[in-house]
Amino acid sequence: MSLTVLNPATEDVIAELEPAGAEETDAAVARALAAYPAWRAVAPGDRARLLRRLATLVEDHAEELARIESRNVGKPISGARGEVGMIADVFHFYAGAVDKHHGQTIPVAGGVDFTFREPLGVVGLIVPWNFPLNIASWKLGPALACGNTVVLKPAELTPLSALRLAELALEAGIPEGVLDVVAGPGRIVGQRLVEHPDVAKIGFTGSTEVGRSVMEGAAGTIKRVTLELGGKSANVVFADADLERAAAAAPYAVFDNAGQDCCARSRILVERSGYDRFVDALVTATRNVKVGDPASEDTEMGPLISAEHRAKVASYVDGATLFTGDAPEGRGFYFPCTLVEATNDDRVAREEVFGPVAAVIPFDDEADAVRIANDTPYGLSGSIWTRDGARALRVARALETGVISINSNSSVRVATPFGGFKQSGFGRELGLNALDGYSEVKNVFYSTAS
């Protein structure tokens, strides 16, 4: 059976690939294992130079990569360009980090004690379809910078950008076997990486359900795992906030990437005393979201990834809505921007919809807001909108979530740590923190006794 890759905006087939299986996965792991001793021995300055060259090649091929991603995921071309810009920045950042991730010297009796940051070996990276190359780069950057070799498994629906990046890595001079891409089914290729005795670590981004099975599978070999999983983040709007600004920004915090974003602030919590004013402005702002052809320069939201996923998203909207937007009819897996009034107990507020559906939930006061925001098994991101600085910090500390923005909905930056609390996973990507997840601390004591 071949791997059929579709354009979700047109439903046209854009590629047919021979899917990899367990045998190809084993072969890629063997190549990565063989490449490891030489790669970890590359002088830090040279490894940095190779990563910098890869960053530059991504910049040189930015438009090509953005178009691959836009066609394969259905994401608006303007957003895809931004993501490719970030990918280059990620490789630049970790190129700069190679020789700044040091050990320590620790005062002890009888000698000198010092630590090294050792690479882990062969690392398996498993990524989802919503930000295929972007999320891959968050793992590849620190993994390669630390001296690991990598087998990358893209999602079945979106393998094209990762395959192109592997070609660019070779062109950059990164040796064969250091970065291999194996495109095939998760339950075969992914599972094999998770259980493979020669894979030292799995960096996984995907659903909480599959994350759980990755953790179970990794237990057999006590593999290290980093898990970046689902979310159901709260956008908490207090009545004293700049309500017009908060409302104008809120749609893009849910409907960006058609809601297929682990950071989506898909629960919009609004203080009752400002509720009507906020909701009026929110409906107006949502009406203005431009939904349509991802290749158009001014499109802000494209289709969902597949027909199957659209049916799942639709199952969350079964009654009256506050607002339902327009979406193209005919071909393409489009779904309209949808606002529903909800309580935090409703299914739409409890489960990750992963589509353009926002649950709007009123709250009474600060304590009520914190209680509702934390009443979820997830803890990935979130926002707080208020003009009261002390309250902003109190609530930021009280929310059980890994990434929070105040008077903003942006939570992802190259230089700052990103990751979840609770069932949104553990481990951190991006920033210098990510390097800790791709290295092991070795402690050495050197006796000075004569």
Asked if 356 contacts 255 with a C-beta cutoff of 8 angstroms, the reply is: yes
Residue 350: count of CB within 10 angstroms of its CB: 16
Cα distances (Å, whole numbers) of residue 174 to 13, 51, 135, 269: 32, 8, 20, 48
Tell me whether residue 274 or residue 425 sits nearer to ligand NAD (CB atom).
425
Spatial CB neighbours of 258, under 8 Å, sequence gap ≥ 6: 74, 75, 301, 302, 303, 304, 335, 355, 356
Minimum Å distance from CB 402 to ligand NAD?
A: 9
Residue 360: count of CB within 10 angstroms of its CB: 23
Query: How is 96-138 classified by DSSP, letter by letter?
Result: HHGGG----EEEETTEEEEEEEEE-SEEEEE--SSSHHHHHHH
Compute the distance between CA of residue 341 and CA of residue 297 in angstroms, rounded to an integer.
32
Give the SS3 label for residue 71.
Answer: helix
Compute the distance between CA of residue 363 and CA of residue 237 in angstroms, rounded to an integer.
9
Active site residue 262: yes
Minimum Å distance from CB 207 to ligand NAD?
A: 3
The one catalytic residue among 24, 83, 228, 352? 228
Q: Binding to ligand NAD by residue 207, rule CB under 6 A?
A: yes
Q: How many residues bind ligand NAD (CB under 6 A)?
A: 31
Of the residues 74, 159, 230, 355, which one makes contact with ligand NAD according to CB under 6 A: 230
Q: Binding to ligand NAD by residue 214, rule CB under 6 A?
A: yes
Q: Binding to ligand NAD by residue 206, rule CB under 6 A?
A: yes
What part of residues 324-363 is at the interface with ligand NAD (CB under 6 A)? 352, 354
Tell me whether residue 76 or residue 425 sits nearer to ligand NAD (CB atom).
425
Residue with tokens 């920045």: 89
Minimum Å distance from CB 211 to ligand NAD?
A: 7
Looking at the DSSP bridge assignments, the partners of residue 114 are 105, 444
Q: Binding to ligand NAD by residue 194, rule CB under 6 A?
A: yes
Binding piece for ligand NAD, criterion CB under 6 A, among 1-9, 49-57, 184-192, 338-346:
184-192
Active site residue 228: yes
What part of residues 113-152 is at the interface with ligand NAD (CB under 6 A)? 126-130, 135
Q: x/- string (CB under 6 A) for ligand NAD, residues 366-385?
A: --------------x-----
Compute the distance between CA of residue 199 and CA of residue 147 in angstroms, rounded to an integer.
14
Is beta strand 382-385 parallel, antiparallel or unpaired with respect to 234-237?
Answer: parallel
Asked if 180 contacts 208 with a C-beta cutoff of 8 angstroms, the reply is: no
Give the SS3 label for residue 3.
Answer: strand
What part of residues 238-267 is at the interface with ligand NAD (CB under 6 A)? 262
Binding piece for ligand NAD, criterion CB under 6 A, among 13-21, 39-47, 72-80, 209-217:
209-217
Of the residues 231, 294, 325, 437, which one makes contact with ligand NAD according to CB under 6 A: 231
Tell me whether residue 209 or residue 280 sits nearer to ligand NAD (CB atom).
209
Give the SS3 label for residue 345.
Answer: coil
**For binding to ligand NAD (CB under 6 A), which residues are involved?**
126-130, 135, 153, 155-156, 186-187, 190-191, 194, 205-207, 210, 213-214, 228-231, 262, 352, 354, 380, 420, 424-425
Instruction: Please list the active-site residues.
Output: 228, 262
